[in-house]
Amino acid sequence: MPSTTAITVSQLSRLIGLPGAPAIIDIRIEEDYSADPRLLPASNRRDFKTVSTWASEFAGSRVTVVCQKGQKLSQGVAAWLRHEGIAAESLESGFEAWRDAKGPLIDAGKIPTRDERGRTVWVTRSRPKVDRIACPWLIRRFIDSGAVFLFVEAAEVSAVADRFQAVPFDIDNVFWTHRDERCTFDTMIEEFGLESEALDRLAMIVRAADTARLDLVPQAAGFLAASLGLSRMFRDDLEQLEAGMLLYDAFFRWCRDATEETHNWPSASKPS
């Protein structure tokens, strides 16, 4: 009989990258984590022994708890969270099953240092159009759902990064930026090890729109038009980002699930 308190690898894999994906809590013991310091996308590392102190952080969230094998630790923490009124499941067979199924895993060493509230902090130029919306979308959906984004004048990005311990992106002479003909979105997918058919297809659209090569894919022109329209609709960059998240969610779902689907409105057959 299927468990009502566990989620399978295949079920979770269909939720990764979607706006309704569960918060993932990695509670592997240090020995197991040190042996393979990779994380499921958008994971939060927590100590199972102190669940009573951090459980409230996930109030109102749907949660998936991951330990090494999906046994006592994840099931115990998930049960504790449910006691606190949180919708929590354990990952069936744990990290090992996800790894063996070749699910996406993020090298924890590539994730920037988090602030005192557990968030990564990023900074880039104000008035985003394409890449500077694409990258925050990728980060929030696959790296850190609570990531902070600071949009400032181009001349101040480096100084703000230094003073506020933020990671600069999509400017010249930093790690997270364009490389040759590839844009910053490409760089993040590659460095975080997120290559997949869906994200690679989305990256092609983003690259084409961001680098004025609309001939690369048919979707690029419409994507650029929508992106530029959003930039004209909002004076506030963070409001634009929130609206842009929906645009990228929609294109990601198309890239993953709907590329073969067509739409038409055939005229009704004339009576004979």
Task: State the angle between helix axes of 197-210 and 131-142 in degrees (0 to 180), rounded to the nearest 10.
Answer: 160
Give strand pairing partners of 45. Answer: 26
91 neighbors 9 (Cβ within 8 angstroms): yes
Q: In whole angstroms, what is the distance from residue 183 CA to residue 45 CA? A: 30
Domain annotation for the chain: domains and CATH numbers: 6-108 (3.40.250.10), 111-258 (no CATH)
Percent with pLDDT over 70 in the chain = 97
The pLDDT value recorded for residue 131 is 98
The pLDDT value recorded for residue 43 is 98
Say if residue 272's pLDDT is above 60: no
The pLDDT value recorded for residue 271 is 56
Global pTM value: 0.95
The pLDDT value recorded for residue 3 is 81
Enumerate residues 6+ apart whose C-beta is below 8 A from 172.
none
- Per-residue pLDDT of 180-199, as tens digits, reads 999 999 999 999 999 999 99
Q: Which of 76, 115, 119, 91 has the alpha carbon at shortest distance from 8?
A: 91
Kindly state the helix (H) or strand (E) to which residue 96 belongs, with its residue range.
helix 94-100
147 neighbors 122 (Cβ within 8 angstroms): yes
Task: Give the pLDDT mean for 6-32.
Answer: 98
Task: Give the pLDDT mean for 233-257.
Answer: 98
Q: In whole angstroms, what is the distance from residue 184 CA to residue 177 CA? A: 4
- Per-residue pLDDT of 48-81, as tens digits, reads 999 999 999 999 999 999 999 999 999 999 999 9
In three-state secondary structure terms, 217 is coil
- Per-residue pLDDT of 85-139, as tens digits, reads 999 999 999 999 999 999 999 999 999 999 999 999 999 999 999 999 999 999 9
Q: Regarding beta strands 6-7 and 87-91, do their DSSP bridges make them parallel or antiparallel, or are they unpaired?
A: parallel
Give strand pairing partners of 151. Answer: 124
Task: Give the pLDDT mean for 203-211.
Answer: 98
Q: Largest alpha-carbon pair distance within the chain?
A: 77
Q: Which of 147, 145, 143, 140 has the alpha carbon at shortest distance from 191?
A: 143
